[in-house]
Structures are given as structure tokens and as C-alpha cells.
Structure 1
Amino acid sequence: MENDGHEGCSKNMGELTKDKTPCLGMEFHSEEVTNQFYNEYGRIMGFGIRRDYHSKSRKEGAMINRKFICCKDGEKEKDKQYMIVNHPKHETRTKCNAFMYVSLDRGLSKWIVKKFDDNYNHPLHLPQCTHLIPSQRKLNQVQALNVDIGDETGISLKASHDLISALEGGKENLGFMREDQKSYLRGKRQRNLQYGEAGSLLRFFQRQAAENPYFYYAIQLDMDEMITNIFWADHEMITDYELFGDAVSFDTTFRTNKEYWALALFTGFNHFRKTVIFGASLLYDETTASFEWLFETFLHAMSGEKPRCFFADQDQAIKAISVVMPKVFYGLCTFHLMQNALKHLGHLYKSGSKFGSDFKACIFGCEDEHELIKAWDSLIDKYNLYENAWMKKTWEKREQWAHVYMKY
């Protein structure tokens, strides 16, 4: 739907947009109200918005101009750090020229619309899809209260979301997605941690450090001085790493539905083949930047001694490993590999099938590369997986999971 489609859409919504279409000279009490108005206009028309540049008064430093633009304005910048991307994201920006420009009239203490352009160069979203646009996804006060009640009563995130959707008459009327609900709860607990639990946690760490000078802890703060990531390791963990830290496994699957913080553990095996913990962390998010901070902190706690091999599962963690520990061999955790196989090829695990044992034989049972290739080809042929994308991707990463490549 190009401009002709936009005109048709406007005709159908004539009454709906009568009082919602920006025009020159319109007045607003604040910049935030202006943003809400333009966002509502975007919802009716079927596009998302975002704030663009602004200018401030040289004398007072207060904002005096603001430009609001379509979310498809401009074009995505190329990532200079990772030039080769195996699965690039679909380009969503179209250099759209739609915008609204407002200025502050100091005499009236109001924001005035000075410029407006509705020249869209992309299809507009249908009304039943506008709730999926990022700028439209938000919780109102009543919805936030229902989310809090559901969380406090122990209702699962999915059940709570479905219940609120039913109360609103369907997900298309809800105005937010389950991921937004999760972000709301996580942000709320983040603020609570800053003012309540953070003090208790810091006192615990300080008490441990006073009793044992080898106790190590570190806390990362964001620009608003709010706690984001936490790491700690006691004397026994550090000693175990000195003895058994050649191979380290990193896992973030331990988490609670209540807090939505990932409990990340650095683990390994001792001389009795029992699991030992080298360090623990609470992660606010699981981004590459957070993992880089965590791995750097972990190495600092361990006096800079790097492991010989490092096992992880997430792509973000693997990227961080290549930056912080570029010369360390990193592999894929075979437990997660088997779990992903069950997720992508669950139909092959039916009763009587030997796919699980055949797949495991490729991981652990081959003595050399030639035997591995033969076993893999036999597996693909036996279960007719020639066109399976996950199997192709897994084979490309074989040096990170097949034990024939991990012999020292």
C-alpha cells in the first residue's frame, strides 16, 4: 500500500481521524503530551513513531524544539564490528519522510506545531495489527495493576497475559505483548532491588568479605546508577578454579519465573568427576555487553588465569568469549545440544526410534574425523534429514561439539 493506499485508508477513517490529525498551529501543554498525540495519530493511521532530534535554549538549557518522525525514517547503520553476518535481520527502515515538528512558545508556555508531513513511502499497518508496533505497546495503569496482582498471586506469565487479554476483549485490544509484560515486571523488580534488596545484598557481600578476605564480588551499574549485573565467588570457588579450571562450562538456564533474572553459573569437574562451581552471577539481561562484563570480571576474580576451553550455548555468550578470551577454545555444551535436537526434531524421538542414541554416537563415539563424517552421513540418510536447516547449521559447528576435535 503506497500513497494511493494511504489515501484510501484515510477516507475510510475520516471520522476517526477528524480530531486526531495534526495541523499547523495546534497547541499542546507539554512535549510529552505532544508525543502522546502524535503516537495516537500513528496508531489510527497504522505506523509507529519515535522521537528524533531536539534543540535547547543556550541560556536556560531547556528544550525548545522537538521533531517526531515515523519509525521507518532513515536507514540502519552497518555494524562495523561484525561485518560478516550469517543471518542478517530484515531491513525495516524505508527513509520515510513523515514527521511533525513542534516548538515551544515561551509566552504561552505551550508547544506549537510548526511543520507536518504525512508523506509515507511504505505500507501502513491494518488496525488489528497496530498493537504490535513498538511505539504503541504499553501498559496503562489498570493493566499494570492487573499484571501486579497476577504476579503477586503466583499466576504464570502466560496465564496472566491470557487473562488480561480476555478482560480487554482480545489480544488486539490489549496494547502490549507478553514480552512487554515481562519487561514491566523486570523493571519493577530492578527498581525494588535498588531501594530494598540491593542494600541487603551489599551488606551480605561486605560481611562475607570482612570474614574472608578471599571473597570476591562485583556489581555493574547502568547510567542511572541502577544495579544491572552481579558476580560473586567465595574462597572455595576460587581454589577449585585454580585446581580444576582447565575446562569451564557456562550456563544461564537456571532462573526463576518470579524474578526473571538469569542465574549464570561457571562450573567444572573435580578429580572425582563431581560438579564444582567456580562463580555465580545474577544477570539483568543476556546481551553481549553484559556477558563481556561478566567474563572480564570472572577472569579478574581468578587472577587473570584463563581456562583452556570454555563451553557455552548462547550466541551472545560466544561472541563475548571471542572478545574477552580470543585464544581460548570455546565449544557448545552437549547437554544443550541434545535439548535443541529434541526441540527441533522431537518427532524423531518417538517410541522405538534410535535417533537419540545415533545422534549421541556422533558426538561421543567417533575416534577420528573420517569416522565422524561417515556416522553423520549415515544419520542424515537414515532419517532423511538432507533439507533440515537445524542439522545443516549444527554440522557447520561440528568442531565445537564433536569430541574428535577436543582431544589434547
Structure 2
Amino acid sequence: MEDSIIDDGGLEGCIEEMGELAKDKSPYLGMEFPSEEAVYEFYNEYGRIVGFSIRRDYCNKSKKDGVMTSRKFVCYKEGEREKDKRYTMIKNPRSETRTNSKAFMHISFKRELLKWIVSKFDNNHNHPLHLPQCTHLMPSQRKVYDAQGINIDIADETEISLKASHDLISAIAGAKEFVGFTREDQKTYLRAKRQRNLQYGEAGSLLRYFQQQVAENPYFYYAIQLDVDEMITNIFWADHQMITDYGLFGDAVSFDTTFRTNKEYCPLALFSGFNHFRMIVIFGAALLYDETAESFEWLFETFLDAMSGKKPVSFFTDQDQAMAKAISQIMPEVFYGLCTFHLMQNALKHLGYLFKSGSKFSSDLKACIYDYENEHELIEAWNSLIDKYNLQENEWMKRTWRKRE
């Protein structure tokens, strides 16, 4: 066991100690603070001690001068997630994270004192609280501090892998629970750094290149999406040859984001297909800030706009949920298939131990993918594969089978 795991006796003592500390740090009515940010930091620290994450809820502002007059902070599990009305049955629902917790703290701004006052407080949680050694995983506790950012930047510049640099920072801190952020937070930090570094010189050069291409060939197409701070996020372009090839060979399109610039964590997305010589042709390219459903929706809409609204007959991607959601929104009538290359890569990722030397799992799985056109024969072959390798409880195999249609 790792040194960071606490035994039962040590855990009980730690919980008792945290309980005593929470009594001293507990909010009370009339408590004063110099700013709204100070209130957030205090309540967040209280949540860390007790074992729950917090978030800002609503605020009220004066109609006269727009000054904030009150604010409500709630438990992160407050409320309930709205039901997805697009489908009557959802095959792979997201895990529920909200429990309609009623815990909150309400503050009011007293103009005559220039202070924020705690006006209401409820500590009624209807869910289990986090154990002390797990509080670093709570959303409101995860933060990359400036000193840690320096270490991340140095590791990134020396081309140390994301996992290795996070392990190194964890070793320096003493254990992962003392770091204060996860590997995904570190990845997000590096993405944000890339966006911050995309200053006028770099963005201007990119725009000048696109404008030059448009001047030389009016059929060159490009589009740039900006965020609320008017910073570049997603970029798409297609030249005249790409657009012409799509008009001729665009019935079947493969969309791939595995071409990634590792240093900047900025996915390079390619729309591709085959021509009449079975040679690969590119229909369009994009640089994405992230791989969310919203980014994919913007990209697919932009791609169709560049191609004069012509939609493909078949669209192949990997097993990414965000892509699937975007396709259902933008191209619901298009046949959506899974790329067999990515299917095998995901199999290797989830079932790597079955690909060892001497195992026939790879050939048996490929047989299920390629060799059967009759549904009854496919079902028999799949069931035989499941029984042969004892995969009855494997979640990835279950999800893949549900998606076969």
C-alpha cells in the first residue's frame, strides 16, 4: 500500500480532528468579511475541512448602480440535473452527481459598513461527505497555483510527459493528495497557456496567411471561433482542392482528432476520405482548443457551410461521446459509423492483457468486425468470443456491443 493510505485507526482519528476543526471554522450569522471573494475563500476552506465542494449560485444587484447586494453559495451537489428530452431511452446515461443538497450560505452587502455579512446558513447535507484524504479531488479545491505552474511550464518545455511531470510534482509535494490538482487540471492549464500565448503576432500571422490564400484563390475557405474574451479558440480551413475533392468523393467521410500536437495539447482534426484510386484525400482541417460537444458542433456546422451544405452519406469517427452528440445535433440523418482502426485501438487500451503473444483474441475480435454479414452468425460469434475470454462483465465490450447497430 502507498504511504498516503490511512489505516482504520488513523482515519477515525483524522475524522475526529477534522470535526473539531470544523467547529472552530464554522460560519455563523452576522459574520463579517471585507469582500465577496474573501467569503468564497472562507466557505471553500470550511467545505474542505467538512468534506464537501462549493460553488457560487445566484446573486442580486442594485437596479440603481449595479452593485452586488447579495450572494448565495451552495453545496456542489445542490439541485438536480435536468432530464435529456431528446431521447426516450438513453443507453449510456452519465452518472448522477447532484443530490439536491440543501446546504448553503447566504451573504448580504452592508453599504454603511462596506462589509459582507452572513445572513443565512444551512449545513444540512443529504449525501456522504468526502474523507479527508480525498478532499483534493473536489472541484472547488482543485487549483494550479503560480509556483506549481512554473514547475508545469518547465516540465512542458523540457518535453517531459504529462504523467511523468504530474508524478514528479506529486513526489515533491509528498503525495498526490497534497498537490491540489489532477492530471486533467494540468492538461487544462497547458491548454490555457497555449491560448494565452496566442498573441497578436501568432494570430496575426495565421490570419495574414489565410487572407493571402483567399486573395490568391477566392475558393479558399476559413473560419475562426472566438470566446467571450475575443480570444481564438477553434480554427477551420479548406482550400480549393479539398472542396473539389469533397464534391467528388465526399459520400463517405472519416473524422479523426488523433493527430495531436503533443506540446500544445491542441488537437489537429482532419476530414478525410478516398478517391477513385483509393488514395487518401483531405476535405478539411481544424485546430481545436478542446474536444467538447460545443466545439464539435461549431466545427461540423462550419464544415458543411464550407461544402455548400452538402452532407456526407456516411460519417466515421472513434467512440467519442462528444462527437456522437454533435453529430446527432448537426447531421442527424447521416449514417454514423465507428472507424475500425479506432475500434481496435480502444480494444488494445481496455483489453491490452488479451493481446499478449500467443493469444488469438485480436484475430477473433477482427473476425466479428469484418467476417460476418448475417446477424445471427455475428451474434453467435460474439457470444462465443465473450465466453472464450470470460468478458461477461467487461463494460467496454458491453458498450461496444450496444453500439453495433
TM-score when scaled to structure 1?
Answer: 0.89
- Residues of 1 paired with 2:241 and 2:32: CA distance? 65
Amino acid at match of 1:337: L
Amino acid at match of 1:134: P
1:406 aligns with none
Q: Which moved more, 1:210-219 or 1:92-101?
A: 92-101
Q: Given the alignment of the two structures, is residue 68 of structure 1 paired with residue 78 of structure 2, yes or no?
A: no
Q: Given the alignment of the two structures, is residue 395 of structure 1 paired with residue 401 of structure 2, yes or no?
A: yes
SS in 1 for 2:21: coil
- Residues of 1 paired with 2:157 and 2:94: CA distance? 37
Any idea what the Cα deviations from partners look like across 1:269-310, whole Å, max 9, x if unmatched? 112211111100111121222212111111111111122211
Structure 2: stretches of 5+ with no match in the other structure: 1-12
1:355 aligns with 361
1:334 aligns with 340
Asked if the contact 1:194–1:227 (Cα under 8 Å) also holds between the matched residues in 2, the reply is: no
Change (3 A) 1:282 1:105: same
Asked if the contact 2:15–2:132 (Cα under 8 Å) also holds between the matched residues in 1, the reply is: no
Q: Which moved more, 1:315-324 or 1:201-210?
A: 315-324
* Residues 255-334 of structure 1: pairs in structure 2 closer than 5 A: 255-313=260-318, 314-334=320-340
SS in 2 for 1:155: coil
* Residues 106-117 of structure 1: pairs in structure 2 closer than 5 A: 106-117=111-122
Deviation at 1:380, TM superposition (A): 4.0
Asked if the contact 1:156–1:257 (Cα under 8 Å) also holds between the matched residues in 2, the reply is: no
SS in 1 for 2:86: coil
SS in 2 for 1:263: strand
- Residues of 2 paired with 1:321 and 1:14: CA distance? 49
Correspondent of 2:241 among 236, 240, 246? 236
Amino acid at match of 1:218: A
Any idea what the Cα deviations from partners look like across 1:23-78, whole Å, max 9, x if unmatched? 22222121111101110111111111111111001110011111111112222222
Any idea what the Cα deviations from partners look like across 1:70-105, whole Å, max 9, x if unmatched? 112222222223442223233332332222111112
Any idea what the Cα deviations from partners look like across 1:300-324, whole Å, max 9, x if unmatched? 1111112221111122212222222
Amino acid at match of 2:182: M
Deviation at 1:191, TM superposition (A): 2.2
Change (3 A) 1:202 1:153: same
SS in 2 for 1:69: strand
Deviation at 1:107, TM superposition (A): 2.0
Amino acid at match of 2:401: W
SS in 2 for 1:190: helix
Any idea what the Cα deviations from partners look like across 1:166-213, whole Å, max 9, x if unmatched? 221111111111111111121121122254422221111111111111
- Residues of 2 paired with 1:118 and 1:378: CA distance? 54
Q: Which moved more, 1:358-367 or 1:178-187?
A: 358-367
- Residues of 1 paired with 2:143 and 2:390: CA distance? 46
Q: Which moved more, 1:34-43 or 1:192-201?
A: 192-201
- Residues of 1 paired with 2:110 and 2:241: CA distance? 65
Any idea what the Cα deviations from partners look like across 1:207-252, whole Å, max 9, x if unmatched? 1111111110011122232222111001111111122112110111
Q: Given the alignment of the two structures, is residue 94 of structure 1 paired with residue 99 of structure 2, yes or no?
A: yes
Q: Which moved more, 1:12-21 or 1:131-140?
A: 12-21
Deviation at 1:389, TM superposition (A): 3.8
Structure 1: stretches of 5+ with no match in the other structure: 1-7, 400-408
Amino acid at match of 1:326: P
Asked if the contact 1:221–1:227 (Cα under 8 Å) also holds between the matched residues in 2, the reply is: yes
Q: Given the alignment of the two structures, is residue 147 of structure 1 paired with residue 155 of structure 2, yes or no?
A: no
Asked if the contact 1:9–1:45 (Cα under 8 Å) also holds between the matched residues in 2, the reply is: no
Amino acid at match of 2:237: W
Deviation at 1:339, TM superposition (A): 1.3
Amino acid at match of 2:272: T
SS in 2 for 1:66: strand
Change (3 A) 1:350 1:164: closer
2:8 aligns with none
1:209 aligns with 214
SS in 1 for 2:27: coil
SS in 2 for 1:184: helix
Q: Which moved more, 1:260-269 or 1:140-149?
A: 140-149
- Residues of 1 paired with 2:21 and 2:51: CA distance? 13
* Residues 370-389 of structure 1: pairs in structure 2 closer than 5 A: 370-389=376-395
1:227 aligns with 232
Deviation at 1:19, TM superposition (A): 5.0
1:218 aligns with 223
Amino acid at match of 1:265: L
Asked if the contact 1:250–1:311 (Cα under 8 Å) also holds between the matched residues in 2, the reply is: yes
Any idea what the Cα deviations from partners look like across 1:342-380, whole Å, max 9, x if unmatched? 223323322223332232233223354454445444444
- Residues of 1 paired with 2:128 and 2:374: CA distance? 55
Q: Which moved more, 1:381-390 or 1:202-211?
A: 381-390
Q: Which moved more, 1:45-54 or 1:283-292?
A: 283-292
Q: Which moved more, 1:244-253 or 1:81-90?
A: 81-90
| Number of aligned positions between the proteins | 392
Change (3 A) 1:135 1:362: same
- Residues of 2 paired with 1:379 and 1:125: CA distance? 41
Change (3 A) 1:384 1:48: closer
Asked if the contact 1:219–1:230 (Cα under 8 Å) also holds between the matched residues in 2, the reply is: yes
1:366 aligns with 372
Q: Percent identity?
A: 74
- Residues of 1 paired with 2:28 and 2:156: CA distance? 43
Amino acid at match of 1:287: T
